[in-house]
Structure formats: structure tokens, C-alpha cells
């Protein structure tokens, strides 16, 4: 089983829609989870950390489910500018940062 798995998409949604991505991880000892955003041909940028109790930043909500070993990202009221690839990231047991392959989101007018 891969250390991290993401649905690559693409997710095509209209403006204003709510969209959710999941990311599963295989190592139950993993800690420190993040969501990164990557625009086409650009570098990844930190979107938000994921805390055990769940956290929200404006239209974005991140959650962690340790029992089922997945993290999620919910985007409400999607904007055209949200179109990007979203990467889930975590630290594995060896202390290395592991990236998922990314989920592509395309928000249409």
C-alpha cells in the first residue's frame, strides 16, 4: 500500500460549489499533516496545517481522522481562483515529509 493516496481528479465544479478531497495515509504513527496548493508549473505553497480537532481558515476546512487514517479538505463557495492542484502532506515515521500525488480542482464559471 502506498504511504499516501489521493484521488487525482480532476474535480470539475461550478463557481459557488462545495467540494471535498480526501487523502489516506498508511502509517498510523504519522503526525503533522498539511494541505498544500500548487498552481500549474509553480511551486507548492502551504495552504493550511491540519490539527487533530479540525481547523478552519475562511472557506477552507481541514479535518483529520486518525481512526480511519485520512485527512480531508473542504472548500466552500468555490472561486475561479481556487483552481489548482491540492497536495496532502505529512511526516512519516522517519521524519521525512511525504507528498501525495495531488488532486486537481477546476472551478468553472
Residue numbers at the binding site for other proteins (CB under 8 A): 8, 32, 34, 36, 41-46, 49, 87, 91, 95-97, 99-102
- Rounded to whole angstroms, the Cα distance separating 87 from 21 reads 10
Min dist CB 64 to other proteins, Å, is 13
Min dist CB 1 to other proteins, Å, is 15
State the CB neighbour count (10 A cutoff) for residue 22.
16
Min dist CB 96 to other proteins, Å, is 6
Amino acid at each position: 500500500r502506498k504511504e499516501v493516496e489521493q484521488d487525482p481528479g480532476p474535480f470539475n465544479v461550478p463557481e459557488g460549489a462545495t467540494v471535498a478531497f480526501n487523502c489516506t495515509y498508511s502509517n498510523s504513527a504519522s503526525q503533522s499533516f498539511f494541505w498544500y496548493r500548487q498552481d500549474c508549473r509553480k511551486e507548492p505553497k502551504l495552504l493550511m496545517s491540519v490539527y487533530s480537532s479540525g481547523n478552519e481558515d475562511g472557506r477552507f476546512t481541514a479535518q483529520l481522522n486518525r481512526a480511519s487514517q485520512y485527512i480531508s479538505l473542504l472548500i466552500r463557495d468555490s472561486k475561479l481562483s481556487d483552481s489548482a492542484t491540492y497536495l496532502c502532506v505529512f511526516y512519516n515515521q522517519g521524519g521525512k515529509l511525504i507528498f501525495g500525488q495531488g488532486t486537481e480542482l477546476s472551478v468553472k464559471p
